[in-house]
Every structure is written in C-alpha cells, then in structure tokens.
Structure 1
Amino acid sequence: MTAADDLDTITERWTTLQEAAGQRPTTTWPPAMGITRLMSDEERQEQAAERADTNPDAPGPRPAPVNVDVLDVMTTIETGVVTAADWLAERVQRPAFRAPTGQGWSDDVHRAAVLLATQDAADPRRWRFTGQRSAPDAAEWLACRVRDMGGPFRKLDEGERQAVAEVAAAGAELIRRTLGDARRREALPHPCPMPCGGQLVVEGGDGAPPIVLCEDCGRTWTETVTGAA
C-alpha cells in the first residue's frame, strides 16, 4: 500500500472514527475468551467490580457515551498529519507573489500584478498555517503532494516522501486497528495452564475469530467450548 493510499484511508474513514468516538466501547481487547478461568480470586473480584461500575443499570451518575480510546486515536492521528503538513509546506510550498504597493501605481500592468499576487496568495491548493487544519484536510493535502499534483510547490525529494509515508502508514494502521480491520497480537498476563507454563498471546481484532496460543508448547484455544487444539 502506498503513502497516498494510506492518506486516502485517513480522509475516507475519518467520519467513521468520529461516529465510533460517540459510542461506548462494545467490545474489549484483548477478548476474555474464557481466560478468566486462569485468573486469581483477587483478579476476578477486581474485574467484577469494574463491570459493576460500568454497568448502565448500576446506581449513580453514568458517564457520557464517549469512547475515549477512539478520541485518543483521533488526536494522535490528527497531530501527526497536521504536523507533517506544516513541516512539508515549510519546505516545498512556494511563497506567494508580491506586487509593489504604496507607490501611486495606477496603470493596468500594476493592477494586473496586484490581482495576480492576490490570487496566488489565496490559491486553495496552498496549505494554511491557520484556520481549518483537520486530519482529513492535512491528509488530503499530503496525498496531493506525494502524487505530485500541480500547484505552488516543488516536487518532494525521497527523504520527504519517506517521512510522509511513515506518518501516513502509522495513521492508517491506527485506524484499521481501531475500527477492527487489522489483526493484532498481544501478550496475556497469565501463563499457559499446561505444564510448560509458557507465555500466552491472543491474536485477533480483524473480524476473524480470535485465538489464544502458547508460544512455548504451541497449544491454542478458541471461543468454542471444545476449541483446544
């Protein structure tokens, strides 16, 4: 996937992220998958207390239906692409033309020069350091630059392309992980219940059924009752 593709992902899926941010998390990661049987009594009590505190039917005021994790992801992505746009514009965006003023000029040539300078400064293809600076705006502008689209810019050098590509890839990956498009792998804090006592990891998050596996003995567990393999 190219940097432009990753930037398109940020632009196109931003509204979906905003919608997800307005909802309570409906799933947790990593999934429990019956792994609570491996918990200590104290850990089970802590988990039960947490469930009671977040239950909509529990007494007391309820928090606003906002997914803070998604908001954090959005802030991270927006900071990354806006900062990248600021940095790149400083390097590749040509300063606007300037026409002489205050000299009593009144001829047609001067008026044409003033009009040209005004239009150049207002060129909508320019990146603005003030005003509307959202993640979709920055991602779209960066995508135009890596595609070498026309405007008051020079072409990017390889170092600049690589820097933009890294920011774009990180942002797109965050979106895929947050919206469940990317497979994840995470270590669990409980050892394998088999004699090896090895490290357990859970894989999933991409829409496929998650699995728990032991990195030492290779045993796996799924969400089915008889899912050991």
Structure 2
Amino acid sequence: MTTAAAHLDYVLDNWPVLQDAVTTPAKATGWPPAMGVARILSEEERIRAVEERLDTDPSAFGPRPVPIAVDILDILRAVEQDLVGLADEMAAAIQRPVLPTMSGGGWRDDAHRQLVLLSAKDSADPRRWRYSGQRDLARAAEWIAGRVAGAPGPFRLLLPVEQVRVDSVVQACADQVRRALGIVGIARREQPVPFPCTGCAGQLVVCGGDGQPPTVECRDCGRTWTDRAA
C-alpha cells in the first residue's frame, strides 16, 4: 500500500468517528496521565486546566469556551472540500472525455446506433468522477485511491508531478483528521518526560490520551513502562 493510499484509508476509517463527535459532547481524556513515574503537568498547567473546567460551569459569569463540535465540523468541511477539489483537479487532467456520438449517419444506420449506445455506456461508467451528483468525501477518497492504485477505467495514469500533488493533499487531510481526533480525545498523543531512562539515559515519552492505558517509552532503548493503576 502506498503512503497516499494509507492516508486515504486513515481518513475513511476515522470519518464516522468524527461525524459522531460533532453531535456528541466531548469527554475528559485525562491527558497527560498522572503516572507513577512522574506528574507531567506543571503547576501552571494544572491551574489553567482547573480554570478551564470552572469556565464550563453554566452558572459562572463571562464568555463560554467555543463548543468542541464547532472545531470538528470546521475540520470535516475543510477535509471534504480538499478531497472533492482534488478529485475535480485530477479528473480534469486525466479523465478521458466521453466518446463522441456523431458518425454522419442516422438512427437507421447500424454503425451510428452502436456509436450512440457505446457513448451512453461510456458516459454512465460508474468509475468516472462526476462534477455533479454524488460529491462527498467517501466517493472522492475512493476515486482518488483508485487513481493512486492505477485501477483501470477511462483515465490515464498519474504523472509523477500529479502523484506528488495527490500525496501532498491527502497527507494534509490525514493530518487534519489526526488533529481532530486529538481534539475529541481519541488520538494517542506523546509528551516528553523530564528525566532520562533508567536503563540507557535516553529520552522518555509518555503516551496516552486515547482511552487506552498510558505508557512511558524510551525512544533510545525501547523499554516500556505501563501504569498498572490506569
């Protein structure tokens, strides 16, 4: 599987989760986790977190934080527009025009009738990207994935420069989806630990925030510690 195909799969796999998040209240993620090896939050960060929790109290005075669903909805719209726009751009470049129907003959001419039928079939080919009708993210992602894989159809193969363009857009879309998952507390995140590994003195990071038990990992020797109390 190519990198572009993996990015498209990532977007498609997580799209329903983000759509649900638009109408589902956000849940606390407990990030960073308070593991036995250290409390990652600084005093300033803890104070800020408390203030943010207090600000969600409906009886408190002052402006409220923007609902998290608005952030997610903005990302959903942006990613969908980017992928549909990419499909439009690539189709304009690589999709073959529908076969012509003009033959110079009338309907009684067998060759003319065959050409008309062939043109109609070519126009209705479900593999074609269309500039009207079904133009949602899922359809765009699947169509682009087909072009990346070189699937047969009324298209030519992507040129190297076009492949670079596709790679760039779909990676940006996957990054946006990854950021959205982080906002709703689903994506696993990492944060450096402020002391070295006891085995090799390498860099430690605490990983979690996605509902799974948090762990501390050494980026140098690969040792891992799990918080059994999580």
TM-score (norm 2): 0.67
Return the alpha-carbon distance in structure 2 between the equivalents of residues 172 and 39 of structure 1. Answer: 32
Overall identity of the aligned pairs, in % = 41
2:142 is aligned, of 134, 140, 143, to 140
- The Cα of 1:175 is off from its aligned counterpart by 2.3
Q: 1:30 to 1:163 in 2, by over 3 A?
A: farther
1:181 is aligned, of 184, 187, 204, to 187
- The Cα of 1:23 is off from its aligned counterpart by 1.1
- Match in the other structure for 2:19: 18
Unaligned runs of 5+ in 1: 187-191, 193-201, 212-222, 224-229
1:145 is aligned with what amino acid?
A: R
Return the alpha-carbon distance in structure 2 between the equivalents of residues 154 and 29 of structure 1. Answer: 50
- The Cα of 1:27 is off from its aligned counterpart by 3.1
Extract structure 1 runs of 4+ deviating beyond 6 A: 32-37, 46-49
Q: 1:164 to 1:210 in 2, by over 3 A?
A: same
Q: Number of residue pairs matched?
A: 197
Contact 1:173/1:182 (<8 A) preserved: no
- The Cα of 1:53 is off from its aligned counterpart by 4.8
1:156 is aligned, of 155, 158, 180, to 158
2:15 is aligned with what amino acid?
A: W
Contact 1:6/1:169 (<8 A) preserved: yes
Q: Determine helix, strand or coil for the equivalent of 1:132.
A: coil
1:38 is aligned with what amino acid?
A: E
2:174 is aligned with what amino acid?
A: A
Return the alpha-carbon distance in structure 2 between the equivalents of residues 132 and 162 of structure 1. Answer: 26
Q: Determine helix, strand or coil for the equivalent of 2:16.
A: helix
1:3-49 Cα distance to aligned partner (Å, 9 max, x none): 11211222232112211222122137975978887349xx95x8767
TM-score (norm 1): 0.67
**In terms of mean alpha carbon deviation, does 25-34 or 130-139 score higher?**
25-34
- Match in the other structure for 2:202: none
Contact 2:105/2:112 (<8 A) preserved: no
- The Cα of 1:108 is off from its aligned counterpart by 2.0
Q: In the alignment, is residue 71 of structure 1 matched against residue 76 of structure 2?
A: no
**In terms of mean alpha carbon deviation, does 116-125 or 27-36 score higher?**
27-36
Cα RMSD of the aligned pairs, angstroms, is 3.8
**In terms of mean alpha carbon deviation, does 95-104 or 70-79 score higher?**
95-104
- Match in the other structure for 2:85: 83
**In terms of mean alpha carbon deviation, does 92-101 or 25-34 score higher?**
25-34
- The Cα of 1:177 is off from its aligned counterpart by 3.6
Q: 1:172 to 1:37 in 2, by over 3 A?
A: closer
- The Cα of 1:137 is off from its aligned counterpart by 1.0
Return the alpha-carbon distance in structure 2 between the equivalents of residues 99 and 118 of structure 1. Answer: 9
Q: 1:203 to 1:23 in 2, by over 3 A?
A: same
1:199-221 Cα distance to aligned partner (Å, 9 max, x none): xxx9754556389xxxxxxxxxx
1:181 is aligned with what amino acid?
A: A
- The Cα of 1:73 is off from its aligned counterpart by 1.7
Contact 1:52/1:58 (<8 A) preserved: no
Unaligned runs of 5+ in 2: 195-205, 217-226
Q: Within 5 Å, which residues of 2 pair with 1:34-49?
A: 38-39=43-44
- Match in the other structure for 1:9: 10
Q: Determine helix, strand or coil for the equivalent of 2:139.
A: helix
